[in-house]
Chain A
Amino acid sequence: MSKKKMTSVEDLVRDIAPNDEFCADLRKELEASRTCRRLVALRASKGFSQSDIAERMGCTQSRISKLENSTDDKWSVEDLRAYAKAIDCRVGLSVLPLHMEPVEEVNLIAAAVERRMFSLLKLAEKDADIANGVSTFMFELFVRFGAIFGTTSKRFPRRADGTRYFECTVGMSEHEVSREEDSMENEVVCE
């Protein structure tokens, strides 16, 4: 058994490809059906069968099968919308640079998170109940991000002398403030 960690079929076959053209053909095929595969993966993750989707879209199961086995260019915008709706999703539009480094992608996501956090902030200003819910959510989000940084720092490779490049430890405590204030305050301590 190979022990190399592989998380895509390209990783899986890169070093054992039967001929030179194979990897290029595989990449082309995967690229050609990227959106379609994403939708099918979502359909499966929600436990829907092709027949379920056909029923929701008001068409035959064979049409769904044909769509799922086709390439992205065979899907109309209406197919996309209807299929997404059938799996309880909606279609959004993102126009992104053709090539993005992982760091750029993370920065993009961080900017999106920041925008939504400010939207939540505005919501919280409207009502004490909403503020209470938003504060709980923000606390949970902070814990989640803390856990991501903690896991990453643990798994991060070390320098040649065995020392770490960086460490991230997040400690936390949660407490209710007095009932008179009718709100909950969350406190997170970063060490």
Chain B
Amino acid sequence: MWEFQRTTEFEKRFRKWPKKHSRELVALMANLQTVFDALQEGAKVAHLKFGFLRTEGKGLMRISQQGAGSGAKEFRLYIYPEEKDGKEVLHVLHVLTVGDKSSQSRDIAECHSTIENLLAHSRSD
């Protein structure tokens, strides 16, 4: 059973999202739900194949606003699916941050750092 966890960075950016780009944000969330549904259905992370999904290394994935319609601005939602082994296996889909194309390289670097922290935290558990 998968569950979402979100970062404070995602919360901060989401709250301040410009109203004029609401349809892109709705599309990002609908695409995220598709990924989540596929994982719940038993899809392997490595086998996730969607037109709106790209891998960015270190387990990081980005979702595009595909489906928002023509003329939509390009946005990216960054996620990290994590399978924790322990007493019981936990499946967590981390929602790391959301940004536009201009902040892409900075966002990716920050997400990689967050993933490293998550992995370090998991190892210390």
Number of A-B contacts (CB under 8 A): 108
Contacts of B52-106 to chain A: CB distance below 8 A: 52, 66-67, 95
Interface size of B in residues (CB-CB distance below 8 Å): 42
Supposing A25-B22, A26-B29 touch, asked if A41 and B49 sit within 8 A by C-beta, the answer is no
Interface size of A in residues (CB-CB distance below 8 Å): 36
Q: Are A65 and B43 in contact (CB under 8 A)?
A: no
Q: Are A69 and B49 in contact (CB under 8 A)?
A: no
- The CA of A47 and the CA of B1, in the complex, are separated in Å by 19
Supposing A33-B30, A44-B48 touch, asked if A6 and B4 sit within 8 A by C-beta, the answer is yes
- Pairs A-B, 4 closest by C-beta atoms: A44-B38, A41-B37, A45-B41, A18-B17
Binds B, one of A8-16, A115-123, A130-138, A141-149: A8-16
A14-56 vs B, CB cutoff 8 Å, 1 = contact: the mask equals 0011110110011001100100011011101101111000000
Contacts from B to A (Cβ < 8 Å): 1-8, 11, 14-19, 22-23, 25-27, 29-30, 32-34, 36-38, 40-44, 47-52, 66-67, 95
Residues on A with beta carbons closer than 8 Å to the beta carbon of B15? 16, 18
Q: Can you name 29 A-B pairs with beta carbons within 8 Å?
A: A1-B5, A2-B5, A7-B1, A8-B4, A9-B32, A12-B4, A12-B32, A17-B14, A18-B15, A18-B19, A22-B22, A22-B26, A25-B23, A25-B26, A26-B30, A29-B30, A37-B30, A38-B37, A40-B34, A40-B50, A41-B34, A44-B47, A44-B48, A44-B49, A47-B44, A47-B47, A50-B51, A65-B51, A69-B66
Given A30-B30, A69-B52, 6 extra CB contacts under 8 A: A3-B5, A16-B11, A18-B15, A22-B25, A33-B30, A44-B50
Residues on A with beta carbons closer than 8 Å to the beta carbon of B44? 47
Contacts from A to B (Cβ < 8 Å): 1-3, 5-9, 11-13, 16-19, 21-22, 25-26, 29-30, 33, 37-38, 40-42, 44-45, 47-50, 65, 68-69
